[in-house]
Amino acid sequence: MRSHSFLPPRFATVPETRKIIWNLGILSPSANWSVQNDMASNLSIAYFANHDLLGIVSEEEYQRFKSQLLQAFQEEWPDATVTIDDDEEVYVEIGGISGQAETDVRVRIADIVNEAIDSGEWQEEEEDFYDEDEDDANDLRDVAEKDDY
C-alpha cells in the first residue's frame, strides 16, 4: 500500500514571484511608465527617402515632404532623435529598442509616411489652367451670336 503524504501548497517567495512576473513580461504601472520614458529617450529614428517615393516632383516639393515627415515623427516621438536623409533606397534605421517595440515603431513609421504621401500637403498648388482671356473671348462670341438673330 502506498502512503500518500499531504504536503501543504507551497507559495512562491517574493524573489521567485518577481522572477515569474519578469519572465511573463508583467510590469507594474510605474515600471511601465519608466520603461516607456527610457524607450522614448533612447529611441533614434533615421529615415532615408528618395524622389522615387513620390513620383515626379520638384525639389521644393520633395523638401517639403521631408519636412512634413520630420515634423510628424517628432510629434509622434518627441523625446526621440529623428533624422530624415536622402539615399538611393527608401528604408529606416531604428536604434534604442528591439523586439515588438521596434516592430510597432516600424509599422507606425510606415503609416505616417503613407499619411504624408496621401495628404499631398507637400505638393505645390496646381495652377489654374483656365485662361480668363479665353473666358472673355467666349462671352464676346456669345454676344455676337445673339445679335445675329
List, for residues 98-140, the tens digit of each pLDDT value: 999 999 999 999 999 999 989 888 888 765 455 555 555 555 5
Q: Which domains does the chain have, with CATH numbers?
A: 13-42 (no CATH), 43-123 (3.30.910.10)
Decide: 95 and 41 in contact? Cβ < 8 Å: no
What is the model's pTM?
Answer: 0.57
Phi, psi of 127 (to 5 degrees): -75, 150
Using alpha carbons, select from 55, 134, 44 the residue that is nearest to residue 94: 44
Query: Has residue 22 got a pLDDT over 70?
Result: no
Order of strands, sheet of 91-95, starting from the edge strand that comes earlier in the sequence? 81-86, 44-49, 91-95
